[in-house]
Structure 1
Amino acid sequence: MNTEKIVRTFVEYFQERDHRRITGSTLLPPPGDSVLFTTSGMHPLTPYLEGRPHPLGRRLVNVQRCLRTTDLEEVGDATHLTVFEMLGTWSLGDYEGSLSLDWGYRLLTDGLGVDPGLLHATVYGGDDQTGPDTASLQLWQDLGVPVELTVEDNWWSNGPVGPCGPDSEIFLWSGDTPPQSTPTRDDRWVEVWNHVMMRHRRLEDGSLVPLPQRNVDTGLGLERLASLLQGQSSVFECDVFDPWRRIVPALWPLDEPSLRLVYDHLRSAIVVLGDGVRPANTGRGYVLRRLLRRVLTVLWRDDPSRGLGDLPDELVSHTLDHFRQKVDPSDVRRLLLEEECRFSRLLERGRQVLARSRFQGPLKDEDFQYLHDTHGLPRDLVTSLRQE
């Protein structure tokens, strides 16, 4: 089952249950949101989760592209991507979490063909402020799905203050052996779908108050689910990466971890550019700049003649089309090459500056500050150049 069919099956399943499909937003969060990028489907819906009526009603479904900078260091493993798509559903003060979980179970098993014996759930076990999520626990027990109770792992929040609540996560077994142990004890259990019972607001003093309505907010990572349904060992082997795996290894011979980083970071940079972000020294622009510099550092490590000019137009166009971005691929390509030239000049200047006698010994914080403020050399770039 390819990703297009997974999306179609997911959306139609919930439309049959009276959910209205909303258009996914860009990676740029709505005004007033403190995050740099949209990290989940709920970000654009925050006002409606807090009580404002949504124009399409109380049951919603969508496909949202997301970016998580917190996962940058984990990219290259089997499950993490910087930019990914999230399938989401919402009950805005309508049905409860146990019904959402029941629908989720039946979509996975009946609609997508997952063996029920390969599923495991986790449920919030309660703390001194809120009790255990007994409704979710009972639902899983009735369905015969093994359950593990946790506390911190099954409490969802959007930050230190704001909407929050217990969640129940659905895991799918990815091992070659029959399922064993539990999700917190064996990482072969891969989380695929999180159902948040968003009922509370945490105040600045740490206390909880009820939200105006009891919501359910769910998120399912498309590429992660696709790789499992397609019998692949990592997200980089699902069908959305087919063109990258076909073209890039022949273009730039790299080891597997380096190839995964290049796939992810270049693909993510194209999407970020497609949503209107431009390279800069701060904020969103610096995230974009960092992605491209990490790619170029890998490419130039073994062969300085490599460059983004080698990248075929097909990969740029494929990525923009997949994420439904109406942007001229030639404009994206031009911006990539401009940033490559800028980074090349910065590296040359950095090598000349660091060759000075004052920078030959161990660097202090004030040295890093001077290099950044005077010469535009970020700390991570200085560290990388000193390791050459």
Structure 2
Amino acid sequence: MKRTAQSIRDAYLNFFTQRGHVVVPSAPLVPENDATTLFISSGMQPLLQYFLGTPHPLGTRVVNSQKCLRSQDIEEVGDNRHTTFFEMLGNWSFGDYFKTEQIEWVFTFLTKDLKLDPSRLFVTVFAGSDELGIDRDETAIKEWQKQFKQVGIAATVAVDPSKTGMGEHRIGVYLWKNWWSRVGEPSTMPAQEPGGPDSEVFYDFGPERKLHEQSQFKDLPCHLNCDCGRYMEICNSVFMQYLKQDDGSFVELPKKNVDFGGGLERILAAVDDEPDVFRSLIFAPIIAQLEELSGTTYDASDKHRKAFRVIADHTRAAVMLLADGVRPSNKDQGYVARRLIRRAVRFAHQLGIERAFLAEASQSVIELYETQYPEVRQHQSEIEATLTQEESRFRRTLDKGELQLSKLLSEKSKGAHSGITAEDAFYLYESFGFPVELTQEMVAESFPDDKVVGSAQFMEQFQQLRKQHALSSRSASAGQFKGGLQHASEQTTRFHTATHLLHASLRKTLGTHVQQKGSHITDQRLRFDYTQPEAPDDATIQTILDQINQWVADDLPVVREEMSKETALSQGALAFFVEKYPDQVSVYTIGRDPKNDWISKELCGGPHVEHTGEIGKLVVEKEQSIGAGIRRIYLRFVE
């Protein structure tokens, strides 16, 4: 009988709470006050400050299941293992236990609690670098060998598995594939940056399935990092062990940390001994729904399987984004949400689903996650309305694309040939979101003898145009990133404290009905979304700004305290995203007010300035409506 995601999640959290860990809630998918990334894409991302020295209020051992989304994987979805949204099971040690305990616990959890066959488990370790003076991770090797020996397995080491294959070996040694830092390989790490080796666990789906022999890699040695599908990485332990020095050398950290991440969907696939993650109970309800809507089956063809996978993944990801407050748009997180929805509709078209279906399909996702993430049920009506509206708009877009293609065909076709080029297909795709697959289908229907549009060369040209466009887009993004948080921590810290003052001034001037609905900070400005039914006039906005600048001029103290969430709320601290905070919280209090005793008191992870005078004078850049009852205000520093 197949396991449910909830049973795996509960087993993992229980396993580590029995070993002294405290469960922390999942952070929202959109990182708070972090302009360097669109989404939370790993379990450790919301905890980064605790790896860099800030004590965690709940102690040195924590565990959770974190919602994650990797938008860069959108184009990869369609195979049997890639998803955009996923859950990352994670446990962390902040200067507490290290390799011996972690490896023993991982092996015990996988083989005893989840009852995975240990003969199906393989691991990787760091190869070491003579150039950097970092030894091979012998501690990890010996600990893995000890664990395997206890179940009667000799875990020998494959020194260069990418060239020789795994053979009879159990442990694969790799170089930079088994090194972790925030910025990648040691050569790219700045001085005083922590990093260290990691050790992955792979599940072997077995030689009998002939996954390697049937793959494009069949002529190469099969090893743990081969993409043939035989071996699937299910979890990884990062051992933050070293600190890079100014001269480029590495020394051991006095306090070493552990960061474990295990993809819930992949662990479930291993438990089911099923290489296709979309056959798990996570996706079964929505796949069944799609089969009913389309009148076809998941296994009808490879093309059908891909379409089912894309629709199921993108629907789930869109629901989770909408539940966390993201709305479809043409920028940032909103663009990703819109792209997910449109790709789902596009592939539904391939399956013959011609009516609106996303709101209906979202029910399966909501029912699956409402226990772990109650916000999906709480925002159900908004999710359904947004999906319906966005799907309706895109279906009209599809209609426009078809009309444009018809015009092109009437202008360019000659005899048996359509005259449609890859440039035409890219124009339709970029301008109208019209899928190249639909272009090919329509051409094939009208011009069955046209062999150009359906050719591999046509698709190569189309993909090349897309790559060129993507490269130019990434270049622009990289330039934007350079000016962001990474190189401007002082600026963003000042803006972060200014956000609290802005919130306080809005509530003081407009009323306590004002609630924060979102914020975004770069080194150039802060953006703050808040509840307000009517637009404040210019005089009111000036009053709000004058109050903020007065508090800045007063050079008020900013005090951080640790207390229970219950105590903080009873003292009047504001927390409009209560579900994301643990039971023990950080509270920042700003200044003193004759009537209220303080200007601002909010639950917050920081960082903040120590006195408001460090912020500097601010000016309102603009203020606008972004939806019914929600307004947005931008502030920047006076130049």
- Check whether TM > 0.5: yes
Structure 2 residue aligned with 1:166: 197
Segment drifting more, 41-50 vs 109-118 = 109-118
Structure 2 residue aligned with 1:251: 293
Structure 1 residue aligned with 2:143: 139
Equivalent residue of 2:283, what SS? Answer: helix
Structure 1 residue aligned with 2:284: 242
CA distance in 2, matches of 1:14, 1:60: 8
CA distance in 2, matches of 1:58, 1:288: 36
Per-residue deviation, 1:84: 1.1
Residues 177-198 of structure 1: CA distance to partner in whole angstroms, max 9, x if unpaired?
A: 4999641356312111100012
Matches within 5 A, 1:74-113: 74-113=76-115
Question: Given the alignment of the two structures, is residue 196 of structure 1 paired with residue 216 of structure 2, yes or no?
Answer: no
Unaligned runs of 5+ in 2: 149-154, 156-169, 213-221, 298-303, 413-418, 443-639
Matches within 5 A, 1:284-323: 284-301=333-350, 303=352, 305-308=354-357, 311=360, 314-321=363-370, 323=372
Residues 275-294 of structure 1: CA distance to partner in whole angstroms, max 9, x if unpaired?
A: 11000112111111111111
Per-residue deviation, 1:230: 2.2
**CA distance change for structure 1 residues 219 and 353 in 2, over 3 Å: closer, same or farther?**
same
Structure 2 residue aligned with 1:148: 172
Equivalent residue of 1:123, what SS? Answer: strand
**CA distance change for structure 1 residues 324 and 309 in 2, over 3 Å: closer, same or farther?**
closer
- Percent identity between matched residues is 34
Per-residue deviation, 1:165: 2.0
CA distance in 2, matches of 1:172, 1:244: 26
**CA distance change for structure 1 residues 29 and 200 in 2, over 3 Å: closer, same or farther?**
farther
- Number of aligned residue pairs: give it: 381
Point out which structure has higher relative CO (alpha carbons under 8 A, 6+ apart). 1
Structure 2 residue aligned with 1:263: 312
Matches within 5 A, 1:304-383: 305-308=354-357, 311=360, 314-321=363-370, 323-326=372-375, 327-352=378-403, 355=407, 363=423, 377=431, 381=434, 383=436
Segment drifting more, 128-137 vs 348-357 = 348-357
Contact 1:316–1:329, Cα closer than 8 Å, also in 2: no
Contact 1:120–1:182, Cα closer than 8 Å, also in 2: no
Matches within 5 A, 1:17-28: 17-28=19-30
Contact 1:192–1:225, Cα closer than 8 Å, also in 2: yes
**CA distance change for structure 1 residues 268 and 322 in 2, over 3 Å: closer, same or farther?**
farther
Per-residue deviation, 1:328: 3.2
CA distance in 1, matches of 2:116, 2:246: 42
Structure 1 residue aligned with 2:476: none
Matches within 5 A, 1:30-45: 30-32=32-34, 34-45=36-47
Aligned pair partner of 1:184 in 209, 212, 225: 225
Per-residue deviation, 1:323: 4.8
CA distance in 2, matches of 1:38, 1:213: 26
Unaligned runs of 5+ in 1: none
Structure 2 residue aligned with 1:214: 256
Residues 198-243 of structure 1: CA distance to partner in whole angstroms, max 9, x if unpaired?
A: 2346699987676673211000111111122123331111122231
Question: How large is the RMSD of aligned CA atoms in angstroms?
Answer: 3.2
CA distance in 2, matches of 1:338, 1:314: 16
Residues 278-311 of structure 1: CA distance to partner in whole angstroms, max 9, x if unpaired?
A: 0011211111111111111112235363322672
Per-residue deviation, 1:3: 2.1
**CA distance change for structure 1 residues 8 and 91 in 2, over 3 Å: closer, same or farther?**
same
Per-residue deviation, 1:340: 1.2
**CA distance change for structure 1 residues 285 and 206 in 2, over 3 Å: closer, same or farther?**
farther
